[in-house]
Structure 1
Amino acid sequence: MSLPWEYCATVCILICAVGYAFSRQRAKAPLPPGPARLPILGNALNVPLESQWLKFTEWARIYGEIFSLSVLGHPILVLNSANAIEELFEKRSTLYSDRPHIPLAGEMVGFSSIPALEHYGSRHKKGRKLIINTISSHNQTGIHRIQLNKASLLLSRLISSPNDFRLHSRWFVAAIVFQITHGQQIENFDHVFVKLAEQVNEDFSHVTRPGSFLVDTIPILQYLPSWIPGMGFKTLAKVYRERFLRMCHEPYASVKEQVAKGTAPPSLAARLIEKNSNPTPEEEWFYKTTVMQFYAGGADTTVSSLETFYLIMSLYPEIQKKAQAELDRVVEPGCLPDFGDRANLPYLDAVLKEIYRWNPTVPAAVPHRVTQDDVYNGFHIPAGATVIANTWAVLHDPLLYPDPFRVNPERYLKHEDGLNPDPRRFAFGYGRRVCPGKVLAEDTVFTLVACVLATLDISKAVGSDGLPIEPDVQYTGGTISHPGPFQCTIKPRSAESAHLIQSVAMHVDFMD
């Protein structure tokens, strides 16, 4: 059976276009070095779809701090050193702050509407400003109260069902974020908005992995009929888009209804609705997507950091004991840690730094796009190229972090070769694309880590044979990376700790 002539013509045009783009790229030498390429396909077959940062780090040992790839004629540059990232993404941020065109995640699903993925411009700047102002210093007192209240409830849940520590971590983050953004009180993880947001986060991680979908390299594929073999991504996009739109519309509509009734608790969405009672459709869509960014852009990464905390404490009991000893010296007896104690907890701060460094939540930062031709160290960087910062490589560079695969908080406190750099410089993105919710994420992680260590002991789980179960240190390979399944034992440090947990949980005003 012969194929329709329209399909054959389209395929011929695509092949010619890719060949032309490939020949133009060749003429733009010298690009940075990189692995050998196949004609037309380039490196399409040797870039892994999972845990790309590990392969990038392997290639960096061969080709240096910056190397280039080509996928069907499209140039991709990978930065593997702090110097290269700082020079391009920080010092030359006017050229490197755009996002690449990602047809599936962006247009087909809709993620290009949120500040994290939209192109650099006035709308992106406005969205970032709105997020930053929401969590700025004049609002921090109220936000800190929310975080500490949720931490008090979290501790009670941890001693009631310690095996569910990962689920409790997700509830903790969701409860904080939804109260800030929508005034919603999230009593459990089964809340409809939380379950929807979690699914959207999984969708985001799936569709933003570079190279995962051919349509991201050949955008015209999105316009081909769905019945053609290989068009399964269109069905996927439809399902993901429906969830994305629900996440944007439904929580916002709930707040809008409360505002109309005069019953809306304080929240970002309520302030936006009250401030502009008759917005244009474009303005309201901007409000919805920016509010949605709070959860989509920060909740999953924060949860990953909290999961890494439990894993580290299971593996390094000596670190746990040192952090607990510091908390015991600083925190007033009979109280939980609060933000007033933070400046007097240098060892705990060093532990937090290692949580962000040891296994970063976004090991290969969300890609940037260079908007005009540039030159770095004698290498040509063509306009329109995708540029990826390999955060994993930087945070495991033995020149910056000796013995990088070992968790060692002392590396930030004392070291014969000088203090190691603060990994938070790299863990939250770069330049004009640095995470606008960075302060909120850091404060949330501090709250949980400090309160848990002050009252609870974390250790390896014990098997039926009475022997400790060694955690398997494996991380997922998507855009946002999480520890694989592991177990641990969580118990109150003492009878006094158990009483404190029960006491503070009883006195928390859930509606505060």
Structure 2
Amino acid sequence: MAYSPTTWALLTFSFVWLLLKVVRKPKHPEYPPSPKKPWPIIRNVPHVPTSRPWLTYTAWGKEHNNKPLHLEALGQHMIILNNVDDAIELMEKRSSIYSDKPDMPLMTLMGLDFNATFLRYGNIWREHRKAFQLGFRKEMIGTYHPIIELETNKFLRRLIAHPKDLKEHCQFFPASIVMSIVYGHELESSEDPILVTTKRAIQLGNPTIMTGALLMITFPVLLNIPRWLPGGGFHDVAARSRKAISEMIEMPYAIVKDRMQNGVDKPSLVQDLLEKQEAKGVDDESVLKNVAGSAFGAGVDTTDCALGTLFLALSLHPEVQKRARSEIASVTGMTRLPVFNDRPSLPYVEAICRELRRWRPEAPAGVPRATSQDDIYQGYFIPKGSMIFFNTWGMTHNPDIYPDPEEFKPERFLNTDGSLNDDDCHLTFGFGRRICPGRYLASDIVWLAAVRIIATLELSDPKDPATGESIDLDKHQYSNETLSHPPRFICTIKSTEYADNLLRSEEE
């Protein structure tokens, strides 16, 4: 293929610029140590992990005493944090420097730029965060407890009636809660058009379905590959993603607007935010749509991950179920279902929920940050624009903090007297100004699901539905995604001797 003189000039200029950038002697302290010796010119390009990066980061951390690590690839600096103290120091105590996000054109191409998770730090992000806080700050979550309790009981009945549809139930349950809270819309079945669209948007909007997604995020120049060249098929995937995500945002929002225009009052987060805007004389729906879509899409996917891990952990560990059920019985007498007011009296159940987040964090590699200015840490230079990866997996699987990290042991969060210790494993929700704003709602949903599942159901024998093999996590691995899902499995679900009476008493 012949290139024009202009193209050759640009290529030559780019090569010379990169060469000078790489070989020029820096006038600053040295970077943190590199886990791999950089190659000439391209530096660490061959070393950037593209599959389950959290495992590679953890292995590198063990080799370097969990110190901050540095990679450089085509001029992009990457800092990897495996130590929770480093993450707290940089992203909480120095949050003014470490709260930005890298420019990720792939996310824009896929239509994911509506999500505050990927927004650059600044006024637009602050507007989204403020709207999110109005609906999901800690003081508000109690108003959603009746919805969570109602949907949890429906969830239990679906599990008892159709135990083989476990995965579908784990998707429908959080969707029904978040849809009711955010849009005031009740999902009647898994065939609801909004839910179908949402599932499609979540599937298509996952960057890992694209070959080389991590490389495209790290090196946006790869997005210039033409559609017709090998490797350019991601353009079609991105177009489908944009369409599905747009529908996911617009469909339920339109339902709320239609109700309000027709004088139908059905409380929801979107209605509340719209009424507040109208009272202030503001007419800007873009933030509201984005916040609502983010809350729904992310809330469903992350809670689905957590619920899958809950069922897997409990079915693998009958002794955990037995101990937790005994604790529940000591509080409720098994004459009623546990309620949120029982939570302080159930430390072992709380420890189970903490251990779920530690054992299999939903986002094991975290979501990368970016530095907004140069910084010096531990004598090392961290340049402006560096991508900061906080390796949640490495932090929650550090054997010096969590002995036998691959074992599921809720008791690691208890003192010798059975009370909860001070480790709430909050790091799995992120750090600093970009900590997950939906963490209080997510925590309450998973806690109530866990405590009522343990009270009413006995879980055992997790199997691969395709082969019938018992689940072995060395073979049946969690997915290679930003939000890492459990392997698909089924398990034996039996009602406890208390289940019928407990659920019947709740109805009465």
TM-score normalised by length of structure 2: 0.91
Query: Judging changes above 3 Å, is the alpha-carbon distance between structure 1 residues 130 and 481 closer, same or farther for their aligned structure 2 residues?
Result: same
Aligned with 1:387: secondary structure?
strand
* Alpha-carbon distance between aligned partners in 2 of 1:224 and 1:279, rounded to the nearest angstrom: 46
Pick closer, same or farther for the CA change 1:271–1:22 going to 2, 3 Å.
same
Give 1:336's aligned residue: 337
Q: What is the correspondence of 1:224-235 to structure 2 with a 5 Å cutoff?
A: 225-235=226-236
Q: Does the 8 Å contact 2:335/2:502 carry over to 1?
A: yes
CA contact (8 A) 1:85 1:389 kept: yes
Partner of residue 94, structure 2? 92
* Corresponding letter in the other structure for 1:329: S
Report the Cα offset of residue 132 of structure 1: 2.2
Q: 2:76 is matched with which residue?
A: 74
- What residue in structure 1 maps to residue 483 of structure 2? 480
Task: State how far apart, in whole Å, the 1-side matches of 2:143 and 2:189 are.
Answer: 22
Distance (whole Å) between structure 1 residues aligned to residue 115 and residue 280 of structure 2: 18
Residue 70 (structure 1) shift: 1.6
1:270/1:378 CA distance change after superposition, 3 Å: same
Farther-moved stretch of structure 1 (63-72 vs 280-289):
280-289
The separation in 1 between residues aligned to 2:388 and 2:105, in whole angstroms, is 17
1:450: Cα distance to partner?
Answer: 0.7
Structure 2 CA distance for partners of 1:374 and 1:461, relative to 1, 3 Å: closer
1:121 is aligned to: 122
Summarize the Cα distance change of 1:24–1:167 in structure 2 as closer, same or farther, 3 Å threshold: farther
The residue number in structure 2 matching 1:161 is 162
Partners of 2:501 and 2:240 in 1: how far apart? 47
Structure 2 partner of 1:136? 137
In 1, the alpha carbon distance for the partners of 2:420 and 2:345 equals: 19
Are 1:372 and 1:383, in contact at CA under 8 Å, matched by a contact in 2?
A: yes
Separation of aligned partners in 2, 1:386 and 1:364: 13
Cα 1:7–1:192, aligned 2, differ >3 Å: closer, same or farther? farther
Distance 1:82 1:240 in 2: 34
CA change 1:150–1:45 in 2 (3 A) is same
Alpha-carbon distance between aligned partners in 2 of 1:27 and 1:208, rounded to the nearest angstrom: 41
Q: Which of the numbers 487, 500, 506 marks the counterpart of 1:498?
A: 500
CA–CA distance in structure 1, aligned partners of residues 82 and 362 of structure 2: 17
Q: How many residues align?
A: 501
CA distance in 2, matches of 1:79, 1:25: 25
**Which consecutive residues of structure 1, in runs of 5 or more, have no partner in the other structure?**
508-512
Shift of 1:12: 3.6
- TM-aligned CA deviation for residue 288 of structure 1: 0.5
For residues 415-454 of structure 1, the aligned pairs below 5 Å read 422-454=423-455
Q: Is the 8 A contact 1:335 1:500 kept in 2?
A: yes
- The equivalent residue for 1:19 is 19
Q: Which stretch has the larger CA shift, 267-276 or 251-260? A: 267-276
Deviation of residue 383 (structure 1)?
0.8
Structure 1 stretch displaced more, 383-392 or 33-42: 33-42
Question: Structure 2 matches for 1:378-417, cutoff 5 A?
Answer: 378-414=379-415
Map 1:62-461 onto structure 2 (within 5 A): 62-64=63-65, 65-105=67-107, 107-206=108-207, 212=213, 214-220=215-221, 222=223, 225-277=226-278, 283-414=284-415, 422-461=423-462
Quote how far apart the aligned CAs of 1:233 are: 2.6
The aligned counterpart of 1:510 is none
Residues 251-299 of structure 1: per-residue CA shift (max 9 Å, x gap)? 2112111111112511111122333359999821111101111023332
Unaligned runs of 5+ in 2: none
Cα distance, 1:129–1:492 mapped onto 2, change above 3 Å: same
Aligned equivalent of 2:30: 30
SS in 2 for 1:77: strand
| Cα distance change of structure 1 residues 214 and 282 upon mapping to structure 2, 3 Å threshold | farther
> Structure 1 counterpart of 2:274, which letter?
I
Instruction: State how far apart, in whole Å, the 2-side matches of 1:436 and 1:358 are.
Output: 22
* Matches of 1:290 and 1:160, distance apart in 2: 35
Contact between 2:205 and 2:245, CA under 8 Å: does it hold in 1? Answer: no
- Deviation per CA, 1:70-90, whole angstroms, max 9, x where unpaired? 222201000000111111111
C-alpha separation in 2, matches of 1:223 and 1:100: 18
Compare 21-30 and 92-101 and name the one that shifted more: 21-30
Distance 2:24 2:332 in 1: 64
Residues in 2 aligned to 1:153 and 1:242: alpha-carbon distance in whole angstroms: 32
Partners of 2:92 and 2:122 in 1: CA distance: 17
Deviates further, 25-34 or 316-325: 25-34
Post-superposition Cα deviations, 1:50-82, rounded to whole Å, max 9, x if no partner, equal: 210000111112233211112222010000001
Contact 2:174 2:299 in 1 (8 A): no
1:25-62 alpha-carbon deviations (Å, 9 max, x no partner)? 86655111111122233222222212100001111122
Contact 1:356 1:423 (C-alpha < 8 Å) held by counterparts: no
- Asked if the contact 1:175–1:186 (Cα under 8 Å) also holds between the matched residues in 2, the reply is yes
- Residues 210 and 234, structure 2, Cα contact 8 Å, conserved in 1: no
Give distance in 1, aligned partners of 2:215 and 2:5: 22
- Following superposition, the deviation at residue 388 of structure 1 comes to 0.6
Q: What's the offset of the Cα at 1:7?
A: 4.6
SS at match of 2:48: coil
Q: Give SS of 1:45's match.
A: helix
| Residues 48/226 of structure 1: CA separation in 2 closer, same or farther (3 Å cut) | same
1:156–1:502: 8 Å Cα contact kept in structure 2? no
* Aligned 8 A contact 1:68 1:78 in 2: yes
The one-letter amino acid of 1:68's match is H
**Structure 2 contact 464–489 (Cα < 8 Å) conserved:** no
> What is the CA RMSD across the aligned residues, in angstroms?
2.8
Secondary structure at the counterpart of residue 389 of structure 2: strand
Quote the Cα distance in structure 1 between the aligned partners of 2:483 and 2:27. Answer: 36
3-state SS of 2:78 partner: strand
Asked if the contact 1:400–1:420 (Cα under 8 Å) also holds between the matched residues in 2, the reply is no
Could you tell me whether the CA contact under 8 Å between 1:428 and 1:435 is conserved in 2?
Answer: yes
- What is the CA-CA distance between 1:24 and the residue it aligns to? 5.2
Deviation at 1:115, TM superposition (A): 1.3
- Note closer, same or farther for the CA distance 1:136–1:59 as it changes in structure 2 (3 Å cut): closer
Indicate conservation of the 8 Å contact 1:182/1:268, yes or no.
Answer: yes
State the AA in 1 paired with 2:50: L
Q: Distance in 1 between matches of 2:464 and 2:241?
A: 40
Displacement, 1:192? Answer: 1.8
Amino acid at match of 2:495: P
Flag the 1:203–1:432 CA change in 2: closer, same or farther, 3 A: farther
Superposed CA deviations along residues 308-367 of structure 1, whole A, max 9, x for unmatched, are 111111111111100000011112543211101111001111111111100111111100
Checking the alignment, whether the CA contact within 8 Å between 1:112 and 1:119 is kept in structure 2 is no
